[in-house]
Amino acid sequence: MAQAVTSHRGPVTGTAARARRRRPFLVDLYSTAVGKKYVMGATGIGLMGFVLFHMIGNLKMYAGAADLDHYAHFLQTLLYPLAPKGWVLWILRGGLITMLFLHLHAAWSLTVLNRKARPVKYQSSRDYQIANFASRTMRYSGIVILAFVVWHLLDLTFGVVNPEVGKMITHAGDDEAVKSVYASVVYSFQRTPVALFYVVANILLGIHLFHGAWSIFQSFGWNNPRFNKWRRSFATGFAALVVVGNVSFPVAVMAGIVG
Amino acid sequence: MSNHLENITLRIWRQAGPQAKGHFEEYRIDSITDEASFLEMLDILNDNLVHEGKEAVVFDHDCREGICGTCSLMIDGQAHGPQRGTATCQLHMRKFKSGDTITIEPWRASAFPIIKDLMVDRSAFDRIIESGGFITAETGGAPDANLIPIPKPIADAAMDSAECIGCGACVAACPNGAANLFTAAKVAHLNRLPQGQAERYSRVEAMVETMDEHFGSCTNHGECEAACPKEISIDVIALMHKDYRKAKFANRKDLARQ
Amino acid sequence: MSLTQDLLQKNTVQLNSKIPAGSMEDKWDNYKSDMKLVNPNNKRKFKVIVVGTGLAGASAAATLAELGYQVDAFTFHDSARRAHSIAAQGGINAAKNYKGDGDSVHRLFYDTVKGGDFRAREANVHRLAQVSVNIIDQMVAQGVPFAREYGGLLDNRSFGGAQVSRTFYARGQTGQQLLLGAYQQFSRQVGLGGIRLFNRTEFVDVVVVDGRAAGIVVRDLVTGEISSHSAHAVVLATGGYGNVFFLSTNAMACNVTAAWRAHRKGALFANPCYTQIHPTCIPQSDDSQSKLTLMSESLRNDGRVWVPTNPDETRPAHLVPENERDYYLERLYPSFGNLAPRDISSRAAKRAVDKGLGVGPKKNGVYLDFSDAISRLGKEVVEERYGNLFEMYERIAGENPYEQPMRIYPASHYTMGGLWVDYELMTNIPGLYAAGEANFSDHGANRLGASALMQGLSDGYFVLPYTIGNELAPMLNKPVPDTSHPEFRKAEEEARQRFNGYLAVNGTKSPDFFHRELGKIIWDYCGMERTQQGLEKALSEIPALYAEFQKDLKVTGDGSSLNQTLEKAGRVDDFFQLGMLMCRDALERNESCGGHFRAEYQTDDGEALRDDENYCHVSAWGWGGDPMSPQLNVEPLNFESVHLATRSYK
C-alpha cells in the first residue's frame, strides 16, 4: 500500500502520472478492491444458486427415500449418455470449487487490504451506527461455514465419518441400484452433535447471506430508486428461505418425522 | 435559558508526533455553558493549558460552520460525535450532560497519518481528486453556460453528492478504512453531468485505482453514510462501482485501438 | 483646493493606476490588444508563486499552470479545498441577462459602483462586470451544479442592491461549489505537474530585491522550518482581515499576515477602514464564543425585526403584546421595511441594543420573527423556503425558530480594504500581485451581496493570467535573484527571530486572550459606527494593549513541531498592527460612506453623508517604520461613466 503522505515535507506535484499496462481483462479487473468485490459478488451469486438448489433438491427427503435417492442418481447421471456418468457432476463441482476458491481468495486479500488500511486500531471503543452483526462478522461466519462444508463433504459425500455413504440399495419399483443418500442423511442427523453443528452452521449461513445477498447489489452497482427498497427484503427473504429449508432437515430427522 | 454542565471529564489522545507513542490523557472541565460548541470547549481547555504552561491540544478546525471540512475528531466512538448530519464544529455541549466522560481520538487510517495529537493528514483525498476528480475545461474555451440544458433532477442529484466537504469522516467511521463514499461522491457529481461525460470512464478508473493505493475496501457496512455530516447516500458508491465496471470495458476498447 | 488635491501633492509613492485608454467599454479590450505576450514555449521559463488557494488563488494558479508557467502554490491549510471562500452561501452575480429583465454589463457595473458608495475605481469595476459572464460559462463547463429550472436552464435569484435577477446559486452553498470547481482545476494541474503544492505552509514574509518582489519566506507549520522560495512574480490571494474583530463570520485561521507583511515591505494598504458588517448573524451566546455564524440575508424577506419597548422586558417573545413591540425597521424605513440595506439595518440593531432593548440572555440581539409569516403562509411554505436555515439556527442556538423568534445581531463579515493594486492587480511593488479579498480594488466602500465570489474568480481566471504575462514578457532570460541572495537570508533570519521571540516572552496570557481584547476595542470603536472620539480612544488603547502583548504573551510548546498557539501569536501580532492602521484610516476619513459610518457625518434621517469634494479618493497607506506612523498616499477617483450621486435605496 502506497504511503499517502511522505514523512518528509516537500511540494506535491505530478501525482497523476500513472503507467497503464495492458493486462488480461479479468486480471486487470481483479487488481483493484472494487474489482475483487465484483468477484466476491459474482461468485457469491453462483454459490447462492448452489445453496438454493441444494436445499430444494434435499426437500425430496420429505417425499421419501426413493425420491431422494433417485434424485441423487439423476445428478450422477446428468446428460448421460451424452457424457459419461459422473462427468457433468464433476464439472459442476469443479465450477463450485473454483467459485469458492475465488470467493475465499478475494475475501482473504480484501481482509489483508483492510487490515493494512488501519494498522493502528481505535484505542477507545467504537459506537457503530449502521454496521450490523451480519456485516461485521462476514469473515467469521464465512470461516465457520467453510469448516462446515468440509465436514459436510467428509460426512455425506466421501463418507469418511459416515458408514452409510456409498452403499447401493434398490427401491421397490426401481430396477437399478442407487446410492443410499437417504439412509446416510438419516444416520448423520441421528447423531445429536452433528445435527447441532448443522443447525448452527446454517444459521450462520443465513446471517452471511443476509449481508451478502444485499451487498451484491451495491458491489455490482445495481442501484435503482425503484427497486432499492426491495434489495433488503430480497436478502432477508433469501436467507430465511435457505435457513428454514436446511434447518428443517435435521429437525425432521431428530423429531422422527423423517427416518 | 442557558444551563451549565458540571464535571466533564475529557479523555484526549495526545501524541507528540507522527512516530511518537500516543496515550490518553484526562482533563477536567469543572463547568461549561451548554451554549458552547464542542470546539469552543476545547478552546477553553487549551486556554487553560497555555495558562498553566502546558502545551495546547492540537486539533484541526477552521470555518466552524460545517462547510470547510477541516474539523475531524472521533468523539465517543463516533466520527464527528453523536449528532447525525453534523460536523464536529457544529456539535454543541447541550448534546452532553453533567458528569459525562468524553473520549476524543484522532481519526485512524494508514492513509490519514497522525501529525500531532488529534490532527491527521488527509492529503490522500487530494491525490484521488488530482488523479481524475475534475472536468478538463481549461480557462477560456467554455461555451455559453446555457448551451447544454441539464434536467433539474440530474442537476439536483449531482448537487447532492457535490456537497461532500472532504472531512474524511467516512474513512474514519468505516471499519475497513475505505474511502469509497468520498471517491464515489465526486464520481457521482461529475459523471452525472453532461459536461462530465467525455472523461466519464477515464475518471472513474483513475480515481478508483488511486483510491486503492491508499485505502481499504468497501464491504457495504453503511457506516460512512451514518457518519457523513452531509448525509451523502451510499447509493453513490453503487454508481461508482457500475461505472468502474463499464470503464474497464470502455477503456479496454480504447486501449486496443491505440 | 480640495483635501484630495492637497494630499495628492504630498504623496510619497507615485500611484499609477495604469488605467488603459479608451472609453469605459473598450478599456479591457484595448488592454488585451496592447499587452505584451509571452510565447507559449517561453512561459515555462517563468515561475510564479501563488499564496492562498481560495477562489482567487486556486483559479489563478490553475490558469497560470494551464498556460505553461511554473507555479508554486502555498496554503496553510491541509488541502487547497479548505479556503474560506467555501463558506459563501448566497450566490455569484453575472450580467448574463438570462431572465431578460434588462440586465447588462453596464447595469452590473453601475450597481457595483453605486453599491460601493462611489469609492471604487471605475475601470476595474467595469472589467469585473465584463468578465462576470465568462465566469459562469467557465464554472458550468467545470461541472459546478448551479440551481436549474425545470427546463434545464440556469436559475437566477435577485439579491440586495439590484433590481434584476442576476445571481447564480447552488443551494445555500455557492461558495463551496465554486471553490471545489476551482480546486478541481487546481488539483488537475497538481496531478499533471504544472503546480507544485506546498500545504500546511504559511507565508511569513515577502522578499524584495532591487525594488522587485523576488520571492517569499514561508514557515512549514508541521516542522516549524523557515525556508525561502524565489520566483518571477508573487501573487497574494490571502483573503481579508475581518478576524481583526476577533468575533466575525470569518474562519478561525483567516488572517492578515500576508498582506500585512507585504505592507511592511513597502506595499501600500488601501482603505483599511472599509469593513462590512452583515446584519443577520446569530448573536454571541457566551464569553467563550470564538466564532459567529451568518444566517442568509434572505430571511429578512419574511421575518419581521423587532425589540420590546421596555428595556426590562422578561416575558418570552410570544407573550409580549403588539403594542409593547417596536418594529423599528418598519417604523424608520417604511418603504424598505425589514429589507433595508445591510449597513442601515445593522446600525439600527446596534442602536436598539445600545439602548438596552436587546433580547436574549445577554440582551445582545434583536428578534427576527416569523410568526406572522407562518400564520400567513403556513408552516409548510416557510419550511420549504427556509427549512435548512431554521435547522442550522436550531443546531447552533438550541431554539426552535418555528416557535420562538430568531435572535440576530450584526457581525463582521467581509473587508473591502486591502493591498493597493493597479489595473493589472499589481501592488506598488513590481512583481507583487494581490487578488480577491486581499486587494482593495472592486468594491469601494461597500460590497454588494454575491459580488465577492465574482471578484475572486474574475481576478484569478480572467485578469491575472493576462496581466502577469504583460509584466513578465520583458524579463525573458533575465536572471532573477535566487534564494541564496542576502535579502532572503535576512528575511529568514527575521522570521526566525520573530517566532522565537513569541516563545521567549513567557508571560501569562495566551494569544487568544489578546486577540479577544483587541477585537473588543476594534468592534466598539471601529465597528458599525465610528466617532472621532472613539477612534482616538482606540488609538491610545491598542498600542497599550500591544505593549502588553509584547511583554506578557505566553506561548507554550516549541517552534520545531506543529504549534497552533505559536501560529496564532504571529497572526495576532499582525492584527494589532493592522488594527492601529484601521483606526487611523477611519479617523482620517471625515465622511461616511458604505461600511465606514462616522456618526458625525450623517443626514437627518441617519443616512451616510459622503464628502465627495474632499474624500473622493483611495487612501493608500505606506509603512512608516512603526504601526502608529503610517504614511498616507491618495489616489483620486475620477468618475467618467457614472455620475456621483447620493446613494439612496428609498
The number of domains in chain B is 2
pLDDT band at C209 (very low <50, low <70, confident <90, very high): very high
> Does C227 touch chain A if contact means CB atoms closer than 8 Å?
no
Residue pLDDT, tens place only, C509-523:
999 999 999 999 999
- CA dist B185 and B230 (Å) reads 11
- CA dist C61 and C219 (Å) reads 20
For residue A110, the chain B residue with the least C-alpha distance is B217
Compute how many other C-beta atoms are within 10 angstroms of the C-beta atom of residue C605: 9
Q: How many helices (H) and strands (E) does chain C have?
A: 19, 20
Q: Which residues contact C184 (CB under 8 A, 6 or more apart)?
A: B129, B133, B134, B135, C142, C143
Classify residue C481 as left (phi > 0), alpha (psi -120 to 50) or beta: beta
Whether B110 and B145 share a structural domain: no
> Does A37 touch chain B if contact means CB atoms closer than 8 Å?
yes
Q: What share of residues in chain A are helix, strand, coil (percent, to 5)? A: 65, 0, 35
Where is pLDDT greater, at B91 or A228?
B91
**Where are the domains positioned within chain A?**
31-114+138-254
The grid coordinates listed for C93 are 452575480
Cα A211–chain centre separation: 12
pLDDT of residue C83: 97
Q: How far is C561 from chain A (nearest CA, A)?
A: 12
Residue pLDDT, tens place only, A24-76:
888 888 999 999 999 999 999 999 999 999 999 999 999 999 999 999 999 99
Residue pLDDT, tens place only, C14-55:
999 999 999 999 999 999 999 999 999 999 999 999 999 999
- CA dist A160 and A144 (Å) reads 20
Angle separating helix axes C122-141 and C27-34, nearest 10 degrees: 80
Q: Which residues contact B103 (CB under 8 A, 6 or more apart)?
A: A124, B11, B24, B75, B76, B77
Provide the terminal-to-terminal Cα distance of chain C, rounded to the nearest Å: 33
> Does C145 touch chain B if contact means CB atoms closer than 8 Å?
yes
The grid coordinates listed for C460 are 484569478
Whether B141 and B222 share a structural domain: yes
Task: Name all chains with 3 or more CB-CB pairs below 8 Å to chain C.
Answer: A, B
Which among C190, C223, C225 is the nearest to A15, CB-wise? C190
pLDDT band at C465 (very low <50, low <70, confident <90, very high): very high
- CA dist C139 and C180 (Å) reads 10
For C140-206, the DSSP string reads HHTT----B-TTSSBP-EE-TT-SSEEEE-STT-HHHHHHHHHHHHHHHHHHHTSEEEE-SEEEEEE
- In one-letter notation, the amino acid at residue C6 is D
Q: How far is A1 from chain B (nearest CA, A)?
A: 5
Q: Which residues contact A211 (CB under 8 A, 6 or more apart)?
A: A132, A134, A135, A138, A235, B220
For residue C143, list chain B residues with Cβ-Cβ distance below 8 A.
134-135, 137, 158, 189-190, 193, 195-196
For residue C290, list chain B residues with Cβ-Cβ distance below 8 A.
39-40, 43, 64
- Residues B187, B204 contacting (CB under 8 angstroms): yes
Whether B181 and B64 share a structural domain: no
- Residue B164 belongs to a domain with what CATH number? 1.10.1060.10
Whether B15 and B99 share a structural domain: yes
pLDDT of residue B29: 95
- CA dist C227 and C493 (Å) reads 10
Backbone phi and psi for residue C447, each to the nearest 5 degrees, phi listed first: -100, 135
C196 flagged as catalytic? no
In the predicted model, is pLDDT for residue A6 greater than 50?
no
- Beta pairing partners, C74: C51, C198
Mean pLDDT, chain C, integer: 94
In the predicted model, is pLDDT for residue C650 greater than 80?
no
For residue C188, the chain B residue with the least C-alpha distance is B130
Compute how many other C-beta atoms are within 10 angstroms of the C-beta atom of residue C629: 10
Report the percent of chain A where pLDDT is more than 90.
Answer: 75
* Alpha helices, H only, C214-312: 257-264
In the predicted model, is pLDDT for residue C621 greater than 80?
yes
By CB neighbour count within 10 A (0-12 exposed, 13-18 middle, 19+ buried), where does A123 fall? middle
Whether B134 and B51 share a structural domain: no
In the predicted model, is pLDDT for residue C586 greater than 90?
yes
When scoring A6, A9, A13 by the number of chain C Cβ atoms within 10 A, the one with the most, hence best to mutate, is: A13
- CA dist B237 and B222 (Å) reads 10
Whether B70 and B161 share a structural domain: no
pLDDT of residue C297: 80
- CA dist C27 and C4 (Å) reads 25
- Choose among B219, B188, B245, B20: nearest CA to B116: B20
When scoring B15, B110, B211 by the number of chain A Cβ atoms within 10 A, the one with the most, hence best to mutate, is: B110
Question: Do the interacting molecules here have an ipTM over 0.90?
Answer: yes
In the predicted model, is pLDDT for residue C280 greater than 60?
yes
Upper half-sphere CA count for residue C554 (Cβ side, 13 Å) = 17
Of the candidates C82, C121, C261, C342, the residue annotated as catalytic is C342
Task: Collapse the DSSP code of C638 into the 3-class scheme (helix H, G, I; strand E, B; otherwise coil) and give the result.
Answer: coil
CB contact under 8 A, A38 and B245: yes
In the predicted model, is pLDDT for residue C381 greater than 70?
yes
- Beta pairing partners, C631: C622
Which among B49, B115, B159 is the nearest to C145, CB-wise? B159
For residue A17, list chain C residues with Cβ-Cβ distance below 8 A.
191, 193
Give the strand pairing for A168-169 and A178-179.
antiparallel
- Residues C169, C147 contacting (CB under 8 angstroms): yes
- CA dist B213 and A1 (Å) reads 5
- CA dist C73 and C75 (Å) reads 7
Which among B105, B176, B226 is the nearest to A122, CB-wise? B105
Average pLDDT over every residue of C125-138? 98
When scoring B14, B117, B134, B165 by the number of chain C Cβ atoms within 10 A, the one with the most, hence best to mutate, is: B134
pLDDT of residue C386: 85
For residue C294, the 8-state DSSP code is B
Residue pLDDT, tens place only, C68-97:
999 999 999 999 999 999 999 889 999 999
pLDDT band at A3 (very low <50, low <70, confident <90, very high): very low
Average pLDDT over every residue of B123-130? 97
* Signed CA dihedral, B20, B22, B25, B29: sign only: positive
- In one-letter notation, the amino acid at residue C305 is V
Residue pLDDT, tens place only, C291-316:
999 988 878 888 999 999 999 999 99
Q: How far is A120 from chain B (nearest CA, A)?
A: 7
Which of B60, B92, B116 terminates a domain? The answer is: B116
Whether B72 and B88 share a structural domain: yes
Cα A14–Cα A17–Cα A21 angle in degrees, nearest 5 = 170
pLDDT band at B100 (very low <50, low <70, confident <90, very high): very high
pLDDT of residue A1: 40
Report the percent of chain C where pLDDT is more than 90.
Answer: 86
Q: Which fold has domain A31-114+138-254?
A: 3 helical TM bundles of succinate and fumarate reductases (1.20.1300)
For residue C222, the 8-state DSSP code is T
For residue C279, the 8-state DSSP code is E
- CA dist C218 and A99 (Å) reads 57
By CB neighbour count within 10 A (0-12 exposed, 13-18 middle, 19+ buried), where does C311 fall? exposed
pLDDT band at B258 (very low <50, low <70, confident <90, very high): low
**Where are the domains positioned within chain C?**
278-411, 490-636
- Residues B126, A12 contacting (CB under 8 angstroms): yes
Q: How far is B63 from chain C (nearest CA, A)?
A: 4
> Does A13 touch chain C if contact means CB atoms closer than 8 Å?
yes
- CA dist C328 and C281 (Å) reads 18
- Residues A116, B110 contacting (CB under 8 angstroms): yes
Which of B116, B134, B150 terminates a domain? The answer is: B116
Calculate the alpha carbon distances from A87 to A83, A100, A166, C279 in Å: 7, 20, 18, 83
Where is pLDDT greater, at B255 or A244?
A244
Residue pLDDT, tens place only, B8-28:
999 999 999 999 999 999 999
- Residue B41 belongs to a domain with what CATH number? 3.10.20.30
> Could you tell me the residue range of the domain that residue B96 belongs to?
4-116
> Does A224 touch chain B if contact means CB atoms closer than 8 Å?
no
By CB neighbour count within 10 A (0-12 exposed, 13-18 middle, 19+ buried), where does C246 fall? buried
pLDDT of residue B256: 65
Q: What is the largest CA-CA distance in chain A?
A: 85
Whether B42 and B61 share a structural domain: yes
- Residues C315, C359 contacting (CB under 8 angstroms): no
Report the percent of chain C where pLDDT is more than 70.
Answer: 99
**CATH 1.20.58.100 for domain C490-636:** yes
Q: Residue written as cell 442550522?
A: C392
Q: How far is A150 from chain B (nearest CA, A)?
A: 26
Classify residue A23 as left (phi > 0), alpha (psi -120 to 50) or beta: beta
The grid coordinates listed for B109 are 487510517
Q: Which of residues 214-253 of B touch C (CB under 8 A)?
A: none
Which of B116, B131, B153 terminates a domain? The answer is: B116
- CA dist B234 and B161 (Å) reads 10
Question: To 10 degrees, the CA torsion angle through A42, A45, A50, A51?
Answer: 130
By CB neighbour count within 10 A (0-12 exposed, 13-18 middle, 19+ buried), where does A251 fall? middle
pLDDT band at A4 (very low <50, low <70, confident <90, very high): very low
Residue pLDDT, tens place only, B174-205:
999 999 999 999 999 999 999 999 999 999 99
Give the strand pairing for C70-74 and C47-51.
parallel
Which among C72, C193, C222 is the nearest to A9, CB-wise? C222
Task: Collapse the DSSP code of B92 into the 3-class scheme (helix H, G, I; strand E, B; otherwise coil) and give the result.
Answer: strand
In the predicted model, is pLDDT for residue C159 greater than 90?
no
pLDDT band at C340 (very low <50, low <70, confident <90, very high): confident
User: Which CATH architecture is the domain C278-411 placed in?
Assistant: Alpha-Beta Complex (3.90)
By CB neighbour count within 10 A (0-12 exposed, 13-18 middle, 19+ buried), where does C450 fall? buried
